[in-house]
Amino acid sequence: MMPTLVLAGTPVTRQVFQDIGGVGKAIFYVLGTAAILIFFYGMWQRVRKYRRGRPAGRWVVIREALRGRGRTGSAGALGRPDTRTVGTLASNKTIGRGDRATGIAHFFIFWGFIVAFAATVILTIDVDIVRNVTNLLFGHEDSFFHGTFFIIYTFVVDTMGFAFLVSLVYMAVRRGVRRPWRLNYARAHKPEDGYDRSRLVAGDWLFLGLLIAILVTAYLLTGLRILSQGMPWFTELSPFGRLVAEAFATAGMTPAQAASVHTVMWWVHASLALTFVAYIPYSKAMHMLLDMVNLLATDRGATPNLPKPAEDKAGYQQISDFTWKELLDLDACTKCGRCHEVCPARAAGAPLSPRDLILDLRQWVDTTAGGLTLLDREGRPGATGPLAPADSSRIAGTVVSERTLWSCTTCMHCVEVCPVGIEHVSTIVQLRRSLVDEGAMDPTLQTALQNLATQGNSFGKSSRMRARWTKGLDFQIPDARKVPVKYLWFVGDYASFDDRLQENSRLLATILHQAGVSFGILYDGERNAGNDVRRVGEEGLFERLAEQNIEALAGAQFEEIFTTDPHSLNTLRNEYPERGASYKVWHYTELLAHLLETGALAVRPLGYRVTYHDPCYLARYNGVTQAPRRVLAALGCELVEMPRNGINTFCCGAGGGRIWMDDSFLAERPSENRIREAVALDVSEFVVACPKDVTMYTDAAKTTGHSDALAVRDITLLVAEALVEPAAPQAAEVTV
Ligand code: SF4
Ligand code: SF4
């Protein structure tokens, strides 16, 4: 037998089955085997469910994440590469973002659990493998569970376990006493037949309570063992277990009493631990395993560059239409409520909450696939909602209401804040595709799509009128199809056709002309880029528009593109490359920033106190947040940031085709909510960098009664106002 380190007369180790006896051991192994079998049965059920999903094409993404590389994913030119890697996962960074205390607590829960799991595995290897094998081979039991190894083991397990326990208690206090609003599971929209979410709450508490009980009994057990051992010196290296032992001793417990209570506590602790193992796949605890995979498989690029519909399908109608990643998304949700909190549709009083959408789909999939879930379910008696008949052939409109799906502005804020990598937007669009296929949409949206199909723009105007806005200029903008230019200006529908915006377009053209920028447009060759058409769910029309634009662009001579419209920028930059057309695409603020900083445009300081609204498709989708701010700095404006700025910007409410739909049912339009946020800053100008934003916010300033105090202005207007002299013509290069 290997010698066991013995110091001061006591072996530096501990008995693993102290006073449990042969029968007790046998019972423990039977219960342990049963718990493991129940665990694997639940896991198999889950895996079987994911196997019903289509391929997701995420293995490359997972491989890159495991290699620790930031990913661009499916959006080749995405301005914001996805930096979620295995390192991000290990640091729990996604959970700490925006909520540091919870992030730190979760970090210790995550690592505490891994340490506890590793400690159990190590013990199993020693007790069940090493000791048995050495006994078989050499006739005596050998063990590595003693001496220095034992001391390090107990120190790590004891200290990490304590951090784990404290963090769990913090989470319990947060949930039960502080009660952050986002953890309230009240639905964004109450279904007519009512609902009951008390089981969701009970499920959370059972999960937390079980873990806390396991850890508390672990420390009581350690304390009793240390006391029963006579408090040997090395147990001081289990500081918290030792503290418990000293507390028992102070309370008058003798080592013999400790030994007898220890046996009872051992069974209590073992029963709780085995129950937890069996309970994992049927409960919220499952997120501990699923979220790691989900985070590694997530692809931020799949929102700026939406996935194509499944072959021969217009949108999702049944479970097998979902990809395995989308099915995994549903189970990965921890109900943290971050998406619910930031969603502009939810804030506006629409029936959509991204959290509830995920929970409804999860429950429907579980019901349909016959999955077993403990507690983590909503009770709803009606024929619609997540309890809709399992054989329902129409998810959109039954499991999730049509209005819920049409309420999404595709702002991507839910995807951005979700700590476990759920991709709500692509799922919503897939469901919208089936509604579009059935023609189940607002009449106003139908009209817009018809206009887009017949005229290539949502205004329903002839293509010949697309460049009519240039008529008031005292110079001719080159037709890039006839004259080679450096920049092709992809103007977009709103900047071309909307009467209120045409003057802005002329101003921008004049500024660029004065700065000597070589640019041209496509005239009647341009079509709507298709970004919003795609997000509405009209995939066929999107493909047609993209094809027409790509053909027109192929016939033009230019080096790079700039666009006034962030929505067009997104689709040109991220979705056209997959269709064989890759360009360098800039936003006009990037061009203006460069012209101002290189002196191609001479300006006087304006001295305005302004705030700036980041368009979702520019900031969150494509990471362009600094260029507009550089412009404002060059114009000598004092920028006062709104609380929701940069990639955390709040949507104006126009995206995802919402600009073409009725919004009279909303309690407060997102644009009105935003104007109120700006008004609180006491600024004179509300600066925007998207043509749609000019119309959205001008209207919102009026309807909220703030149009006198707050001027909504495109950034172009400020540049034009600040110009002191025509700039010296020179060729402008954009380097950002
Ligand atoms: S994309 Fe925006 S509007 Fe749509 S569900 Fe997510 S947060 Fe809500
Ligand atoms: S979808 Fe993500 S952000 Fe929303 S509640 Fe679930 S885990 Fe939280």
- 640 with 663, same domain: the answer is yes
Tokens (6 digits) for 643: 């609380």
CA 189 from chain centre, in angstroms, equals: 22
Q: How far apart (Å, rounded) are the C-alpha atoms in residues 492 and 506?
A: 14
Return the C-alpha torsion angle 611, 675, 426, 100, nearest 10.
Answer: 60
Q: Which of the four pLDDT bands, split at 50, 70 and 90, describes residue 695?
A: very high
Could you tell me the sign of the dihedral formed by the alpha carbons of 478, 483, 484, 490, in that order? positive
- 262 with 307, same domain: the answer is no
What are the tens digits of pLDDT across the range 142-193? 999 999 999 999 999 999 999 999 999 999 999 999 999 999 999 988 877 7
Rg (CA), the chain: 31
- 655 with 595, same domain: the answer is yes
- 564 with 637, same domain: the answer is yes
- 410 with 456, same domain: the answer is no
pLDDT score of 77: 41
pLDDT at 613 over 70: yes
Least Cα distance to 15 among 268, 277, 273, 266 occurs for 266
Q: Residue 34 domain-assigned?
A: no
- 409 with 448, same domain: the answer is no
SS3 content of the chain, % helix, strand, coil (to 5): 55, 5, 35
CA 604 from chain centre, in angstroms, equals: 42
Q: Residue 69 domain-assigned?
A: no
pLDDT at 364 over 50: yes
Q: How far apart (Å, rounded) are the C-alpha atoms in residues 543 and 534?
A: 8
CA of 415 to the centre of ligand 1 (A): 8
pLDDT score of 82: 60
Q: How far apart (Å, rounded) are the C-alpha atoms in residues 711 and 547?
A: 39
The residue range of the domain holding 594 is: 444-725
CA of 331 to the centre of ligand 2 (A): 10
- 180 with 258, same domain: the answer is yes
- 404 with 493, same domain: the answer is no
CATH no. for residue 346? Answer: 1.10.1060.10
Q: Residue 217 domain-assigned?
A: yes
- Would strands 519-520 and 487-490 be described as parallel, antiparallel, or unpaired? parallel
- 464 with 587, same domain: the answer is yes
- DSSP letters, 167-209, are HHHHHHHIIIII--GGG----SS--TT--B-HHHHHHHHHHHH
What are the tens digits of pLDDT across the range 267-323? 999 999 999 999 999 999 999 999 999 999 998 889 999 999 887 788 898 888 999
- 264 with 321, same domain: the answer is no
- 190 with 322, same domain: the answer is no
- Would strands 6-7 and 10-11 be described as parallel, antiparallel, or unpaired? antiparallel
CB 532 within 8 A of CB 451: no
Q: Residue 309 domain-assigned?
A: yes
Which residues have C-beta atoms less than 6 Å from ligand 1? 339, 342-345, 352, 354, 408-414, 424-425
CA of 291 to the centre of ligand 2 (A): 11
Between 241 and 189, the more confident residue is: 241
Q: Which of the four pLDDT bands, split at 50, 70 and 90, describes residue 379?
A: confident
Tokens (6 digits) for 677: 């946020």
Domain edge (last residue) among 412, 438, 464 = 438
Q: Residue 169 domain-assigned?
A: yes
Q: Find out whether the beta carbon of 284 lies less than 6 Å from any atom of ligand 2.
A: no
Q: Find out whether the beta carbon of 420 lies less than 6 Å from any atom of ligand 2.
A: yes
The alpha-helical segments, DSSP class H, found in 52-183 are: 59-66, 86-91, 93-96, 100-124, 131-138, 147-173
Mean pLDDT of the chain: 91
Domain edge (last residue) among 260, 282, 304 = 282
Domain edge (last residue) among 381, 408, 438 = 438
Q: How far apart (Å, rounded) are the C-alpha atoms in residues 505 and 433?
A: 33
- 531 with 478, same domain: the answer is yes
Give the range among 354-358, 378-382, 563-567 with minimum mean pLDDT.
Answer: 378-382
- Quick one: which H or E segment has residue 466? none
What are the tens digits of pLDDT across the range 187-198? 988 877 788 899
Number of the ligand closest to the Cα of 358: 2
Cα diameter, the chain: 101
Q: Residue 651 domain-assigned?
A: yes
* Burial tier of 543 (Cβ tally within 10 Å: 0-12, 13-18, 19+): middle
Q: Find out whether the beta carbon of 396 lies less than 6 Å from any atom of ligand 2.
A: no
Least Cα distance to 360 among 319, 397, 399, 318 occurs for 399
Q: Find out whether the beta carbon of 342 lies less than 6 Å from any atom of ligand 2.
A: no
Tokens (6 digits) for 405: 């799906």
CA distances from 311 to 243, 314, 316, 324, 663 (A): 63, 8, 11, 16, 33
What are the tens digits of pLDDT across the range 41-91? 999 999 999 999 999 988 888 888 888 766 554 444 445 556 567 888 888
Burial 342-372 (b: 16+ CB within 10 A, else e): bbbbbbbebbbbbbbbbbbbbbbbbbbbebe
Instruction: Please count the structural domains in the chain.
Output: 3
Q: Residue 424 domain-assigned?
A: yes
Ligand 2 atom at minimal distance to the Cα of residue 334: 7
Q: Which of the four pLDDT bands, split at 50, 70 and 90, describes residue 732?
A: very low
Q: Residue 699 domain-assigned?
A: yes
Q: Find out whether the beta carbon of 335 lies less than 6 Å from any atom of ligand 2.
A: yes
CA distances from 518 to 39, 301, 557, 715 (A): 66, 32, 12, 21
